Amino acid sequence: MSRTASKKTTGTTKKASRRGRRARPPELIVITGLSGSGKGTVLKCLEDLGYYSVDNLPIELIPKFAELTRDSPNIRAAALVVDIREREGLQRFPAIYKRIKRQIPTRLLFLEADDATLIRRFSETRRPHPLGTSRSVARNIQEERKLLAPIRELADHVINTSKFNVHELREVIEETFGGGRDQSRIMIYITSFGYRYGVPPDSDLVFDVRFLPNPNYVPQYRKLSGRHPQVARYIRSFPQTMEFIERISDLLIYLLPHYIEEGKSYLTIAFGCTGGQHRSVAIAEEIRKRLARAGYKVKTTHRDVAKAG
């Protein structure tokens, strides 16, 4: 083979190699959701993970940004925030989003939180809601939910941040978008609740424990909660209680690896009784202990325990 031919062959090989590396274009993450739900925290976390990040990019510039992300040799992944600050421009976002998904691999992350949590966050930060101050924060939140509903329907990931502090939210984002996830690090949130106050809307799994004997009818236990040792011991004294705990623990330990395999970063498990004071609280605490012993990171909350009176 001649030297010229050899050089041509080598050059062709290098070009093909470069094309092979670019055959998998960068990914674009679009972050949206309710004001106060943590979009800024998520954007900063993605930036720390190496994403080229832009906040509040005008709707009309998103296709150009996607094009630049796809073609730039220096961007391996990008993230941008689109939210209610765009006002009427949000109506054009669904069509734009479908178009950019044809240009570049794109995922839509929608953040939300419970009304009470959002109201508390606005109160703590003393920042006005982006929809203005002419009506209450609660009314603005309801209006924002309505305006963002069509975008939420497009989401690849919906995360309710009510239960997370800043550090826990970063953990979820790192697990979901950081790659190389440690499968044992799924975050498990166990909550107790009372059916009279409604089922927690962000629950992944819900178990009804109203079939268990109710300590509310035992005078000395009525004012206590399921966290009190005497109440917990009373609930555990019934054979159906211990059988339920054993069966549910076995079921969850069987299910969790499958949730992890499907890419689940966190799981919310809810146990409900009538008022959310006794049975659901005690069962939630018992299941937490079982899952913790199995090596999982578990956090327990009792939504309605303070409402009983």
CATH code (residue 64): 3.40.50.300
- Is 188 within a domain? yes
pLDDT digits 0-9 by tens, 273-292: 999 999 999 999 999 999 99
Cβ atoms of 226 and 300 closer than 8 Å: no
pLDDT of residue 71: 87
Q: Tell me: pLDDT of 180 over 80.
A: no
Could you tell me which residue, 174 or 140, shows the higher pLDDT?
140
Sign, Cα dihedral of 174, 175, 180, 182: positive
Considering its fold, how many domains does the chain have in total? Answer: 2
pLDDT band at 126; cut points 50, 70, 90: confident
pLDDT band at 5; cut points 50, 70, 90: very low
Is the same domain home to 206 and 163? no
pLDDT band at 308; cut points 50, 70, 90: low
Task: Work out the angle between the directed axes of helices 229-236 and 239-261 (0-180°, nearest 10).
Answer: 100
Distance CA 160, CA 116 (A): 13
pLDDT digits 0-9 by tens, 44-70: 999 988 899 999 888 889 999 999 888
What's the whole-number mean pLDDT along residues 191-196?
95
Is the same domain home to 163 and 193? no
Could you tell me which residue, 7 or 126, shows the higher pLDDT?
126
What's the whole-number mean pLDDT along residues 241-261?
93
Is the same domain home to 43 and 170? yes
Using a pLDDT cut of 70, give the percent of the chain over it. Answer: 89
Written as six digits, the tokens of 76 are: 């391996």
Distance CA 298, CA 309 (A): 28
Could you tell me which residue, 3 or 217, shows the higher pLDDT?
217
pLDDT of residue 184: 52
E runs forming strands in the chain: 27-33, 52-54, 77-81, 106-112, 157-160, 187-194, 205-208, 266-273, 297-302
Rg (C-alpha) for the chain, rounded Å, is: 25
Cβ partners under 8 Å of residue 244, min gap 6: 209, 212, 283
What's the whole-number mean pLDDT along residues 72-100?
88
- Is 15 within a domain? no
- At residue 246's C-alpha, the angle toward residues 248 and 265, to 5°, is 40
- Is 6 within a domain? no
pLDDT digits 0-9 by tens, 16-31: 344 444 455 688 999 9
pLDDT of residue 49: 87
pLDDT of residue 249: 95
pLDDT of residue 20: 42
Is the same domain home to 62 and 165? yes
- Is 214 within a domain? yes
Structure letter (DSSP) for residue 91: G
Is the same domain home to 173 and 210? no
Tokens 């925290």 found at: 41
Q: What is the pTM of this model?
A: 0.65
- Is 261 within a domain? yes
Is the same domain home to 216 and 245? yes
pLDDT band at 4; cut points 50, 70, 90: very low
As separate numbers, helices (DSSP H) first and strands (DSSP E) second, the chain gives 10, 9
Is the same domain home to 38 and 168? yes
pLDDT of residue 167: 86
Question: Which of 157, 177, 197 represents a domain boundary (last residue)?
Answer: 177
Is the same domain home to 164 and 196? no
- Is 9 within a domain? no
Question: Which of 128, 155, 177 represents a domain boundary (last residue)?
Answer: 177
Burial class (CB in 10 A: 0-12, 13-18, 19+), 193: buried
Cβ partners under 8 Å of residue 252, min gap 6: 205, 269, 287, 290, 291
Cβ atoms of 35 and 129 closer than 8 Å: yes
Cβ partners under 8 Å of residue 198, min gap 6: none
Distance CA 15, CA 18 (A): 5
Single out the residue of 27, 91, 79 nearest to residue 53, CA to CA: 79
Q: What are phi and psi of 22, to 5 degrees?
A: -90, 0
- Is 60 within a domain? yes
pLDDT digits 0-9 by tens, 143-155: 999 999 999 999 9
Is the same domain home to 117 and 213? no
Is the same domain home to 79 and 130? yes
pLDDT of residue 86: 84
Is the same domain home to 157 and 217? no
pLDDT digits 0-9 by tens, 208-235: 999 999 999 999 999 999 999 999 999 9
- Is 21 within a domain? no
Is the same domain home to 166 and 220? no
Pairing of strands 106-112, 205-208: unpaired
Could you tell me which residue, 30 or 264, shows the higher pLDDT?
30
Cβ atoms of 152 and 134 closer than 8 Å: no
Find the domain containing 281 and state its range. Answer: 183-302
Mean pLDDT, the chain, as a whole number? 86
Question: Which of 177, 211, 240 represents a domain boundary (last residue)?
Answer: 177
